[in-house]
Structure 1
Amino acid sequence: MLPQIQSERRLTTWVTCLLNKDKVSTVATIHPHTVFHAAIPGYLDISAQGITLTLRVFAEETLQQVWVRTDPDNEEHLTAMVFGEVVDGWRYCSATIPLDEVRPHTAYVFKVQLAERMLWLAADGQHTRMPAREVHFKHAHDAPPAWVSEQIFYQVFPDRFRNGDASLNVKDGEYEYLCGRPVKAREWHELPSGDYGPSEFFNGDLPGVVQSLEYLQHTLGVTAIYLNPVFRSDSNHKYDTIDYYQVDPHLGGNEALVTLRQATAERDMKLMLDGVLNHTSIRHDWFVRAQAGEKPYVNYFLDAEGDYVSWKGHKSLPVVDYANPDVVDVFYQADNSVLRHWLRPPYNIDGWRLDVIHMLGEGKGAVNNDKHVRAMRRVIKQENTDAYLLGEHFFEATQWLQGDQEDGAMNYYGFLQPVWMFLAGYDIARHKASIDAEEMASWMSEARAKIPFAIAKAQFNQLDSHDTPRMLTLLGNDHARLVMAVRLQMAYLGVPCIYYGDEVGLQGGEDPHCRAPFPWDSQQWNDDLLQRFQQAIRWRKELPALRGGAVVDLHAAGDQWVFARLLADSSVLVSVNRANTPVRQAVNCSILKGLPGSTWCNIETGQVVQADAQGALSLPLGATATELWVSAH
């Protein structure tokens, strides 16, 4: 029997906060922020006249002039801001600028003339000189769907999640996979073996996903599902597609996907599929015919001196050539293209995750990759303006995230990598490497500053995936640090995605061990860990600032990082302490709402602290903990 979510007493924490308001501590500090702006409502508003921008300047500064700098036609243009009233120690300034008519976003930066100095404000913070354009604020004209940042995704590797219909099972030795190796049927309680690789099957299927929706939605609290590939393939991972128009029969076929789509729609849950459009299986009809010398198929794949090019040397994955218009038509351009087909009834998927999207192109070197990704975006939005286009990138994806290509990327670069290095001491290559809080905060600030804020909200934040060791394993089974990580994941900018089984303590190293079957016997679950995941998910759902607020760094050094998620009318403090001892950290929170003397309450414990008249705060940070603090005034 599945454990139920504990009954919520939503008022308990708030009442506790109010009762504890006399238990306060204060500290004085120098105000660290001179100017403030974020690309959030109230500071950036769209009208028929253009973009109205609001900037706050610390009122104790002698302010002479403020400009918004833009660069239409690649030439500087300065728009003077109008001075407004002073509220809670801040001078408000505003100006309206036109939308950039050429670029997919409007870039801007603030130039502030004070009595004794000049400063600039960009998306990465204050500067004493004009900052590089890559960190200017950016407003994307074609923003990602608004629903994306509201979700908690859950990644399902179909073969390993749940067996819902035993009649669909791959049978032991049913067919041969590669190199004449018969497929192997495994028992659910067993662990993946490197001996069999992609040819071993645990027989999870789409009916199993349907049967698990109650657990996913009501027990755990997730709202959207990301499925690893489901199209016909002889492997368990299905990244070698044989037929893009057929769901694999061992997963239940097209009918099972229709059933899953209907079941998720009834629950108001989103569904995203995984498209592998850079390469096919060697058993795809195109490749079989190409190897036989048939035209026009011989020109569908990249040629390498008489041999075919394969993805990263894996000969089972021949790479297609987008210089061929037939490939373009089948994958995205034609009326019956792959991308269009699954966005239409009866499937009506909500989004595409496109595998190694940065590698597809014309000939060697992914030539004209941007042209094809832009075209894929146009096709997807033609079918459904509210569909989500997510790209897979293990490294920096800035160039794909400027408003004309992807809605978001799998955020290995701007989230997973810095979190791994800070909490687990490993980089993305699994080399031992550690950073402190200052470096982590700087890395994440740089990553989000380079892209429009609306796209930063749609970045796909994971702690692990089918391509990496599980986070708990990387942490050496340190449950406290995993709780730190998932709370940070739920509190940070972007859309969180849980890899199946992490919430019940599933472990596993490199592939295939990170793809173990989900343990549906709840006796094997770590109930405390599951409750911590449920708790973090509830916090994200209950606090709007965690879903849409700007990130404001307040302190980052050593083992401690304190930042805020800020909306125009609400804010949440997030404190991170990697050390195994509690500390008190001085921060200044007056930047958040302009409310010196505000009271902050720990959402979990009810502990209360109060800022002084200058907004200075002495914040207690628990040992090995990520904690959230809400305004309790």
Structure 2
Amino acid sequence: MRGGPSVLAEVGARRTSQQETHKNRADHRPNRDKERVPAARRLPRETEERRRQAGQDRDRQERDEHRHPPGDALALQGNRDAEDHQRKLSHHEDAEQRERRARRKVDEVDDLGQQQAGDREQNQRPPEPEEHAKRGALITHGRILATCHRGPDGGLGLATLGNRRQRSPCVGNCKPGHLEAWDDPPTRHGFKGGDLLGISEHLDYLVDLGINTISLNPIFASAANHRYHTYDYRRVDPLLGGDEALRELVDAVHERGMRLILDGVFNHASRGLWPFHHVMENGAASPYVDWFILNPDWLSSGRQLRAYAEESGAETLEADWALAHAAGRESLATLGYRAWWDLPALPKLNTDNPEVREYLFETAEHWTRFGADGWRLDVPTEIETAGFWQEFRRRVRAVNRDAYILAEVWDERPDLLDGSTYDGLMNYPLLCAIVGFAAGTHLDSPSVGQHSWLGRNLVTLDGPGFAEVLDRLMATYRPAVRGAMLNLLDGHDTPRLRTMGGGDRATVRLALLAQMTLPGAPCLYYGDEIGLQGGMDPASRGAFPWSSDAWDREMLAFTRALIAVRRAEPVLRRGGIRVLGAEGTAVAYLRSWADRSENDRGGSPSVLVALNNGEGDSSLAIHAAEVAGATWSSEALPGLRPLRDLMPSRDGGLIISLPPRSGALLRPR
């Protein structure tokens, strides 16, 4: 049970959230005047006042910093901006409580990136992607960016791991009784009953594993178990515990020096979204018709939108398919509105409408003020409105200048990382390279082929093939940017890692060894560390088994040890990379400092990684100046046989002999 001040702070935050929800809805009454100039639309009075207040706060901050020069620039809460925003959320606290909260220091681990601010100017400006890279920005769990990505409800990952029915009968709202059994296989529409407080209960498991950031799938009110169908962007789903549960989770995460990333689905919403419901009820007379992309012929004729078509999706789209498909507007012709992937449940938002943009931007500002440390953006490139993501970044960074902005983009797109929109991309091309090599002959092509993109891009690679792709990907993004990429091995959109590897444990070990030693933010999908398997959705969203009897304990120990090595070695997070050699089934690469003066935080000056995906022993001869003149010792990792110490030959070469389906992490001594 928490003490009084903490409880009061939560109550204050809840009231603020509820008041803002009602007020913001009132702010977004649409302007039906067709003669107006969209860009000249006057903002609501409350919005103007908030922005004026924000400007005054920033001016006050700058004056304060003249008196109090910044020290370490913390990547999480604890900097002056974050304290100011927390005080605004907790305005019902008395002065003493606010002062105590402002003084509270977040004791963050190195991986969260305590970065010495060089000067006042650097501390004030919003960090660019390369700054996230220098901080070793995100090792987490759920996506590490965390094992907390998606779980049995389909939407949360570890958020769903704690069954709140066992803790109390009500969490914000009483839960219904019609829930699936926790250990039953996941289904497309079923709910397990897990919630955000389940994450709060199990944060120590994540801390012990070495996780420092949790990435959640959508948590806002939705009728879908995965919650990508949002019907209220300003309310946490009651089945997950509501706003109160998020408040408790945010506080608990930050108290442990961790971060929390939310999933923003702003391209499309649910047919249950209140403006769409208004259009469904009132047709062309609705003030919200411009919030969506509607068929004008349907509107003028009074024809009902087919949001709940009687036929299946395929039958619904069959009518006028050829003509509609040629025009790129299948759902517009068959449903009466444009829907994402022509799915009736997902009307696309009209972001060309300034009212819609303002609603979405204020939504992002609201939850960032609430305590979110960043956003994973769902299909952001499908929003084609000019300047949308630039303004999103500006608005979010004005609230939290350290916010991490991640884009779900499947292909190689260095053009998107110019510092004006996103910090990093979900690195699916690297996923294909790592899994294709780690699985080798064990790659389960039928499982992989269930996903069309993976089926085209994920193929078996040998040592030279992996080296070639690795060289290309490392050259595609400049070093500072590639450090902010999210390196995942699987997720809710793919089969699980072990399943793609045909159930082979060595596939998981090799994939993790590569992932944790390459530039970027490693992302571990919940349950991979204990051996969970599953095919495509919904099989990839099984409940986390809290009985440790079902765990692969050796894999858990291996994952924990490997994360600890990464966190202890700055060179693995911020150093350069060079492929040293590749032959047959083996490959080796070196992580080292381009300039030895960069090695200012201790740790090894370099780390050599060697991998063998073959079914037999493999030897790799390395001739490189970087390995000469030192004895190399391998790290003892659970499940991997350590190599004996390696010494260069007279010609400076190094021979690495690897057992079948294994790898080694070596450091000079």
1:496 aligns with 2:490: no
1:274 aligns with 2:311: no
- State the Cα distance separating 1:488 from its structure 2 match: 1.0
Asked whether the 8 Å contact 2:171–2:245 carries over to 1, the reply is: no
Partner of 1:390: 406
1:144 aligns with 2:132: yes
- State the Cα distance separating 1:296 from its structure 2 match: 3.5
Q: Secondary structure at the match of 1:491?
A: coil
**Where in structure 2 are the equivalents of 1:419-438 lying within 5 Å?**
419-424=434-439, 425=443, 426=445, 428-430=453-455, 433-438=459-464
- State the Cα distance separating 1:173 from its structure 2 match: 12
* Matching residue within 624, 628, 632 for 2:665: 628
Q: 1:192 to 1:490 in 2, by over 3 A?
A: same
Asked whether the 8 Å contact 2:162–2:194 carries over to 1, the reply is: yes
* Matching residue within 197, 203, 218 for 1:229: 218
Deviations 1:111-151 (A, max 9, x none): xxxxxxxxxxxxxxxxxxxxxxxxxxxx9787437445352
Deviations 1:461-519 (A, max 9, x none): 11110111001011111101211111111111111111111111111001000000000
Provide the C-alpha distance between the structure 2 equivalents of 1:554 and 1:396, rounded to a whole number of angstroms: 24
Q: 1:201 to 1:172 in 2, by over 3 A?
A: farther
Q: Secondary structure at the match of 1:328?
A: helix
Q: Which moved more, 1:579-588 or 1:256-265?
A: 579-588
- State the Cα distance separating 1:621 from its structure 2 match: 2.1
1:327 counterpart letter in structure 2: V
**Where in structure 2 are the equivalents of 1:168-567 lying within 5 Å?**
185-193=179-187, 197=188, 199-218=189-208, 220-291=209-280, 292-293=282-283, 294-303=285-294, 304-305=332-333, 307-332=336-361, 337-344=362-369, 347-362=370-385, 368=386, 371-413=387-429, 415-424=430-439, 425=443, 426=445, 428-430=453-455, 433-567=459-593
Provide the C-alpha distance between the structure 2 equivalents of 1:440 and 1:358, rounded to a whole number of angstroms: 28
Partner of 1:162: 161
Provide the C-alpha distance between the structure 2 equivalents of 1:501 and 1:142, rounded to a whole number of angstroms: 30
Asked whether the 8 Å contact 1:240–1:317 carries over to 2, the reply is: yes
Q: 1:313 to 1:555 in 2, by over 3 A?
A: same
2:615 counterpart letter in structure 1: N
2:139 counterpart letter in structure 1: Q
- State the Cα distance separating 1:452 from its structure 2 match: 2.4
Provide the C-alpha distance between the structure 1 equivalents of 2:632 and 2:579, rounded to a whole number of angstroms: 17
Provide the C-alpha distance between the structure 2 equivalents of 1:221 and 1:434, rounded to a whole number of angstroms: 31
1:582 counterpart letter in structure 2: D
Provide the C-alpha distance between the structure 1 equivalents of 2:244 and 2:623, rounded to a whole number of angstroms: 57
1:587 counterpart letter in structure 2: I
2:573 counterpart letter in structure 1: R
Q: Secondary structure at the match of 1:373?
A: helix
Deviations 1:419-442 (A, max 9, x none): 222233456433673232222222
Amino-acid identity (%): 33
Provide the C-alpha distance between the structure 1 equivalents of 2:668 and 2:395, rounded to a whole number of angstroms: 44
2:287 counterpart letter in structure 1: P
Asked whether the 8 Å contact 1:491–1:574 carries over to 2, the reply is: yes
Q: 1:343 to 1:511 in 2, by over 3 A?
A: same
Provide the C-alpha distance between the structure 1 equivalents of 2:435 and 2:174, rounded to a whole number of angstroms: 38
Q: Secondary structure at the match of 2:376?
A: strand
* Matching residue within 600, 603, 608 for 2:645: 608
Deviations 1:210-248 (A, max 9, x none): 001011111x22111001110011111000111111111
- State the Cα distance separating 1:289 from its structure 2 match: 1.6
Q: Figure out how many residues of one structure are paired with residues of the other and give that number.
A: 465
- State the Cα distance separating 1:540 from its structure 2 match: 0.8
Q: Secondary structure at the match of 1:555?
A: strand
Asked whether the 8 Å contact 1:311–1:318 carries over to 2, the reply is: yes
- State the Cα distance separating 1:404 from its structure 2 match: 2.1
Provide the C-alpha distance between the structure 2 equivalents of 1:596 and 1:165, rounded to a whole number of angstroms: 57
Partner of 1:48: none
1:311 counterpart letter in structure 2: W
Partner of 1:42: none
Asked whether the 8 Å contact 2:612–2:663 carries over to 1, the reply is: yes
- The structure richer in helix per residue is 2
1:157 counterpart letter in structure 2: R
Asked whether the 8 Å contact 2:128–2:423 carries over to 1, the reply is: no
- State the Cα distance separating 1:578 from its structure 2 match: 0.5
Q: TM-score, normalised by structure 1?
A: 0.70
**Where in structure 2 are the equivalents of 1:6-17 lying within 5 Å?**
none
Q: 1:537 to 1:241 in 2, by over 3 A?
A: same
1:359 counterpart letter in structure 2: E
Deviations 1:324-378 (A, max 9, x none): 101111111xxxx01111111xx2211111111111124xxxxx3xx21222122
2:558 counterpart letter in structure 1: R
Provide the C-alpha distance between the structure 2 equivalents of 1:204 and 1:438, rounded to a whole number of angstroms: 45
Q: Which moved more, 1:546-555 or 1:164-173?
A: 164-173
Provide the C-alpha distance between the structure 1 equivalents of 2:536 and 2:210, rounded to a whole number of angstroms: 28
The higher relative CO (CA closer than 8 Å, separation ≥ 6) is in 1
Asked whether the 8 Å contact 2:518–2:572 carries over to 1, the reply is: yes
Provide the C-alpha distance between the structure 1 equivalents of 2:371 and 2:561, rounded to a whole number of angstroms: 31
2:179 counterpart letter in structure 1: A
1:418 counterpart letter in structure 2: A
Asked whether the 8 Å contact 1:489–1:496 carries over to 2, the reply is: yes
Asked whether the 8 Å contact 2:432–2:454 carries over to 1, the reply is: no
- State the Cα distance separating 1:556 from its structure 2 match: 2.4
Provide the C-alpha distance between the structure 2 equivalents of 1:157 and 1:140, rounded to a whole number of angstroms: 28
1:189 counterpart letter in structure 2: D
Provide the C-alpha distance between the structure 2 equivalents of 1:563 and 1:314, rounded to a whole number of angstroms: 45
Asked whether the 8 Å contact 1:457–1:493 carries over to 2, the reply is: yes
Provide the C-alpha distance between the structure 2 equivalents of 1:142 and 1:629, rounded to a whole number of angstroms: 27
Q: 1:208 to 1:172 in 2, by over 3 A?
A: closer
2:197 counterpart letter in structure 1: P
Q: 1:387 to 1:140 in 2, by over 3 A?
A: closer
Q: 1:320 to 1:157 in 2, by over 3 A?
A: same
Deviations 1:159-186 (A, max 9, x none): 2631342135999996xxxxxxxx9620
Asked whether the 8 Å contact 2:483–2:574 carries over to 1, the reply is: yes
